[in-house]
Structure 1
Amino acid sequence: MSLSQNPTTRLLTLLNVSATKAGSKRKWTDEFPAEKLNKRKTARFADSSEADSAPAVVEVVIETPEEPMDTDEPEAEADGEDAYESHFGPTPSLLSESSRAAVDRRAWAASRKTYGKLGSVVELVPEGSQAGPSSESAILERLRTPFKKRQAKQPRDQTELQDDLLSAISSNRDAYLPSTSWEHKKPLREAISLHAINHVTKKRRRVLKNNERLAHAAKADSSASPPEDVQDQGFTRPSVLILLPFRSSALDWFTALTSHTPAPALQVENQSRFLAEYGLSPGMVDKLATAEPGVYPRDHVETFKGNVDDNFRVGVKLTRKSVKMFSEFYGCDIIMASPLGLRRSIEKEKSADYLSSIEVLVVDQLEALTMQNWEHVKFVLSHLNKLPKDSHNADFSRIKPWYLDGHAEYLRQSILLSTLETPETRSLFNTTLKNVAGKMRVEKRWTPVQVPEGIDQNLTHFDCSNPKDEADKRFNYFTTQLLPLVLKSAVQSSNTAVFIPSSFDFIRVQNYFKKYSGVSFAVLSEYSTNQEISRARQAFFTGKKAFILISERFHFYKRYKIRGIRNLIFYGPPEHPQFYTELLSCPFLDEGVEAADVTCRVLYSKYDWFRLERIAGTEGALELIKAA
């Protein structure tokens, strides 16, 4: 039953299921709250940098000043039927029973097109629906004008890339960019930040306009009923969530967000505290940022420079003239957090109500998040857009009907950014994103990676017809076919490195080497201490250990150059294609090594498509899969 059919019944139903705190008494009326908008409130909340220990509680005075409606923009732009109103308004036309049913059964109509600098794009819309229009004009003039001035000072290709992305996401459909280059990270981040601030600004405008309408109606005739078409809010205030792997990433997004806020009246509250907690501590030197070019790989420097703590969460409140960092979650507009930080917060408070009204989700650096703990990402996303446990003083007469109906996940816009694609990220795109406005995925054709000339690369296929059996089939082939063949060779049974992408496979292979291999080996994992790493490298280089097992996460975080390698076995193609090149270059760190002295074996199945494509190239991977 829709709200328009029987609003009284729908509202009472929601009031009955919205759990107010035990022991509290709350009187619900149809009248608009008479509380003054400029009333000062004192709130106590935990420091956002808290760990699992007892939080340090700070007292903050939160002001909610009465913000006048903006007067520097055309009325038509503020109130017209733009992309925001048509998608996030009270009655979005795309949200129908048929569109929701198509999304639930994953019935998407696909088409391909070339989208400017974004390249080849796969567009998906629910069957029976049409893709929404794309238009940069959805950005408010007061935000777009200064952005255009900054664009004039940057390279033209970056400007075109930003414009193409804004045109695509202004229709509020989902966007998945799985092959973002490091050169494009900053311009894409700035464009998405502009889109997020534009969303928050339009939402605030609508709320303030309806506040004025209600105030005028109350003054004109106190006995008359207030306007009914004022549904402009969610259950809670936060509407944008930005998931990031490290504090340094949050610092980059903070810079992008504040670059769009209007000056010179802009004030950034708690900026010094934010820079202190999310930057490096005083006296610390970032060896990655200060190293000469070429000492460390580009992707390693970009990922790990700065503060790489992965446990954080911070609320950002936006007003016309200020940005307030460390705002309490239920009083902020944007939440920047790591999946680990949010999970700890949710589990500690036993509530994720502040995620109930997220309308724009941004997940950046997915390639780093997959190397952390993907379960944290899945945990956070599973708590988005759920009916809250508490009312949080919500005015239910102002809540949009589709929130009350539990349909928010069908309108949430998700923007996913990564330098590469994995089965986990593709699954996230395919199964978790349910936007009835549709979604788009950027495609890329890969070329083969460059390796030292002359190395014989032996790519070995093993049969597997069911992805659930893939791990067992791979382990069985490695232990019964590939490893015995290597151990029979006098040359390949020493100075051999085994690179293992999956952490679960790494533990399994390590246990096998302990019990059954009968050979000496060293271990390099993400859990190895500096002393353990030093001993393992030395033992392998001097020949005391014949094998060395290397996990991909170890190489991702440490990026050591391993000397003494003559034979390389890839238990599976590495997730990051540059790792393949780097490891094949390690033998040549030693003097007198020729390409003919190096052997390389890669074990793969058809389910390694993404990783195989990045190593062998799109065409080469197709040939390998077909020939298997």
Structure 2
Amino acid sequence: MAKKTNQKKKGPKGKKARAKAKLERQWGEQPSQEAELRKGKSRLLKETTKQPERTISPPPQEEQPTRVRDFSDEEAENDDDGRKAFSSLLDTIQRKTGVIDHDSDSENEENNSIQRDITTMKDKMDSDSDKEDVDFLTLSFDPFTERFGRAELPEVSHEKVKFDMARYCLPVDPDLEVQHTEKLDDDLIAGTINSSMNDSSSDSVHWKSLAFAFQKTVRDSLRKRWEKLHPGRITLDQHQTLLTPFMLSYSDVLWMTADAKEERDSTEALAALHAVNHVMTSRIRILRHNKQIKELEEDGRVTADEKEDLFRDQGFSRPTVLILLPTRGCCYSFLKKHLLPLLGDSPSVEKMDRFEAEYGKPEIEDDEEVDLASKRRRQRILAEKGSDWRELFDDDINSDDDFRLALSINPKGGKRGDSISDTSTTVKLFTDFFRSDIIIASPLGLKMTAASESGDFQADYLSSIEICLVSRADVLMMQNWDHVNDVLSLLNEQPNETNETDFSRVRPYFLDGHSAKYRQIIMLAPFMDPFFASSFKRHATSWKGQVRFRRRVAADAASISNVLLPTQQIFQRVSCSSAANQTEDRLKYFVNVVLPQINKPSNKQKHTLIYVPSYFDYIALRNALLKRELEPYFVSVTEYSRTSEITRGRARFLQGRKPWMLYTGRANFFLRHKIKGARHIIFYGIPEHPEFYPEHVNLLNEGLEASKMSEEDPSMVQSVSASCLVLFTKFEAHALERVVGSANCSKMVKGEKTTFLFST
């Protein structure tokens, strides 16, 4: 059958061919024969019928339409070349638009559309040029291998230096103090970075580039999930950018600036990414080595001695990450918000129902006798306690502080010839400690688990911890910081039993007893405290160095600026010879100076609230009052008091039947009572949490009616005005700084004067 010669001509196929034909039609040029016959990207159609040849003169060289290219990431680095290319395109288009016939309305509409596209492209390029190029740095090493693959322990310098923000092109924050060891600074700049810039010897490095370079060392699957959870070109906020190079280089980190929920969530998310990346890298290496060993043994190509030299990739036990949190509710939030999302949109998690039941919202039995008005009243009272309290102790939050949860992360593959990959993982909750990768526990729960019948602590499952995260350290301090110190002292000890350990795979530094120097400690809290600094100094022994973050408090950011009640606030410095003698010297000053003023035989000072931050100080003060037979004149509200005792004591204090009330700091933290009936307040010490100070001062005269009292008892008229007395020592500089500001704190601690007056 003869082929038809009158076939309809087909248009160009392929995206580039159609775009080229469109550009040629817009500029009034005749399409070439090659363009008419082009099909797709590279194939030419053969002529089916003979057609008379047409002579088409090629367009002038300058008339060739310039094709707009999308800049790749590598080409975007050279911003000058991009600007020149765009300028050339713009000039060519403007020359062509000058010769086009504008008689047709359709052509006018086309030209207007083209001009809008040009403006949009120009604005896009200008906005892209304003962005900082942060991906020109590449690390010359893998942090995991650099950290744990060293055969010999390097020399460690503990000399501290100040972090130079200008050197790293960071905006200078005068309130942020960063100190780190000198070796850490050398590692980050001198020996670990390859720059694509010509001047590679420059000692000035952009910190965002460094943070992004460390982020690129995270496993591809985790980084993609992180970018999905934190969309944007640079997926690190300002806090994560500052922390990433330190944290991902396995340096010990003391972050004492997480004073807002957003900042705390940001730092916890970064710590979770670091922990999961560490576990995934370690597990995949071990599984791949297991596969290689099996293949070599089957082929008979490796002996036992050779295997010991090739595959040393683990410690005495499997758990490598320990996360200390204060309550089950914090554990639930950390796992659901930060850890599990990194393992996929819907990771395979075993025993999730049990986790929801034991760590999720506690079951509350509905009392049918409780009416709706009582429930609303309770909700109103809980709302007054503050968002920080509700985040920890609300009715729908599990506030149990005795828990331990072990979980394992198992990459799929490695069987029947399958390759081992981290793209799909299985998470097992409530596993045995020796078969887990991550342990999340409270210090109390872990300490009770490690306690043996003989009174000693045995925790062989903590012998190979490589990352220890202590989050919400301020809450752990209010529980009992001694538990934290006890748990940290159990880390990386030589095990008492073998526990099925394959010693041919154990890294040499574990056998030499140097594993503590390869352990990273990350401590997160909203403020600096001597307890945190002491524990960090004692247990942070990483050879990669240490870094400390602390924020100075400006005068307008100090908590005393939130005092709204017009009153005079007297700060009295108590002379103290040493930190160990603080309790005795403070008690001596109170008994000799303060107590005689409020305990006058003729007229005792009523409605006086004595706030005692430390429970040990409370015991000493209570015993001193009992010794002087002053028990009938005070009530006590502590964290160990029964509900009936608290209710009875608050009522008697409000009514004036008991002149004084002893109120502990831990009772205020856990119960957050609104103490009414106080006209005078004495801070026996500075509150650890700065927001407690203005809260109590602003409550003075709450529940008291001065006019009514003056009518019933004229002698009370002189004592209507509220008063505030604060006792402090020079060893409470951190807590005092948060209340009065850094500048005032320096004068009050080091100055010759011992009495300071603040008025509002």
Q: Which TM-score band applies after superposition, normalised by the shorter structure?
A: 0.7 to 0.9
Asked whether the equivalents of residues 117 and 161 of structure 1 are also in contact (C-alpha less than 8 Å), the reply is no
Asked whether the equivalents of residues 248 and 278 of structure 1 are also in contact (C-alpha less than 8 Å), the reply is yes
Asked whether the equivalents of residues 609 and 680 of structure 2 are also in contact (C-alpha less than 8 Å), the reply is yes
SS at match of 2:402: coil
Query: What residue is the counterpart of 2:442 in the other structure?
Result: 338
Query: What residue is the counterpart of 2:385 in the other structure?
Result: 296
SS at match of 2:253: strand
- Map of 1:184-199 to 2, 5 A cutoff? 184-199=263-278
Identity %: 31
Distance 1:427 1:301, change over 3 A: same
The match for 2:407 among 316, 320, 335 is: 316
> Displacement, 1:387?
0.6
SS at match of 2:590: helix
SS at match of 1:310: coil
Distance 1:405 1:176, change over 3 A: same
> Displacement, 1:346?
0.5
Is residue 2:369 matched to residue 1:249?
Answer: no
> Displacement, 1:174?
1.1
Is residue 2:645 matched to residue 1:567?
Answer: no
Query: What residue is the counterpart of 2:359 in the other structure?
Result: 278
> Displacement, 1:161?
2.6
Asked whether the equivalents of residues 252 and 546 of structure 2 are also in contact (C-alpha less than 8 Å), the reply is yes
- Partners of 2:344 and 2:699 lie apart in 1 by 51
Query: What residue is the counterpart of 1:531 in the other structure?
Result: 644
> Displacement, 1:127?
6.7
Q: State the AA in 1 paired with 2:402.
A: N
Asked whether the equivalents of residues 316 and 335 of structure 1 are also in contact (C-alpha less than 8 Å), the reply is yes
> Displacement, 1:138?
2.2
> Displacement, 1:229?
2.3
Query: What residue is the counterpart of 2:178 in the other structure?
Result: 122
The match for 1:376 among 479, 483, 486 is: 483
Q: Give the alignment's Cα RMSD to 1 decimal.
A: 2.8
- Map of 1:257-276 to 2, 5 A cutoff? 257-264=339-346, 266-276=347-357
Query: What residue is the counterpart of 2:558 in the other structure?
Result: 448
SS at match of 2:330: helix
Asked whether the equivalents of residues 310 and 340 of structure 1 are also in contact (C-alpha less than 8 Å), the reply is yes
Asked whether the equivalents of residues 158 and 187 of structure 1 are also in contact (C-alpha less than 8 Å), the reply is no
> Displacement, 1:536?
0.3
Distance 1:495 1:517, change over 3 A: farther
SS at match of 1:381: helix
Distance 1:551 1:490, change over 3 A: farther
Q: Deviations over 1:208-257 (max 9, x none)?
A: 22223322322333564544221100000000000111000110121111
The number of residue pairs the alignment matches comes to 539
Is residue 2:221 matched to residue 1:142?
Answer: yes
Q: State the AA in 2 paired with 1:623.
A: K
Is residue 2:198 matched to residue 1:113?
Answer: no
Asked whether the equivalents of residues 401 and 444 of structure 2 are also in contact (C-alpha less than 8 Å), the reply is yes
- Map of 1:103-252 to 2, 5 A cutoff? 107-114=158-165, 120-125=176-181, 130-132=186-188, 135-152=214-231, 159-180=237-258, 181-222=260-301, 224=303, 226-227=306-307, 228-252=309-333
- Partners of 2:433 and 2:172 lie apart in 1 by 34
- Partners of 1:260 and 1:149 lie apart in 2 by 10
- Partners of 2:171 and 2:294 lie apart in 1 by 48
> Displacement, 1:455?
1.1
- Partners of 2:218 and 2:390 lie apart in 1 by 34
Is residue 2:175 matched to residue 1:88?
Answer: no
Is residue 2:514 matched to residue 1:407?
Answer: yes
Q: State the AA in 1 paired with 2:665.
A: E
Q: Deviations over 1:569-589 (max 9, x none)?
A: 011111111111111122242
Asked whether the equivalents of residues 125 and 131 of structure 1 are also in contact (C-alpha less than 8 Å), the reply is no
- Partners of 1:208 and 1:525 lie apart in 2 by 53
> Displacement, 1:109?
2.8
Distance 1:622 1:80, change over 3 A: closer
Gaps of 5+ in 2: 1-138, 193-209, 367-374, 412-424, 708-718, 755-760
After TM superposition, the score normalised by the length of structure 2 is 0.67
> Displacement, 1:198?
0.1
Query: What residue is the counterpart of 2:692 in the other structure?
Result: 579
- Partners of 1:622 and 1:532 lie apart in 2 by 41
Q: State the AA in 1 paired with 2:558.
A: P
SS at match of 2:427: strand
Is residue 2:746 matched to residue 1:622?
Answer: yes
- Partners of 2:250 and 2:546 lie apart in 1 by 9
- Most deviating of 428-437 and 486-495: 486-495
Q: State the AA in 1 paired with 2:331.
A: A
Distance 1:291 1:242, change over 3 A: farther
Gaps of 5+ in 1: 1-78
SS at match of 2:521: strand
Asked whether the equivalents of residues 364 and 418 of structure 1 are also in contact (C-alpha less than 8 Å), the reply is yes
Flag the structure with higher helix content: 2
The match for 1:328 among 432, 452, 457 is: 432
- Partners of 2:495 and 2:472 lie apart in 1 by 29
SS at match of 2:318: coil
- Partners of 2:452 and 2:362 lie apart in 1 by 27
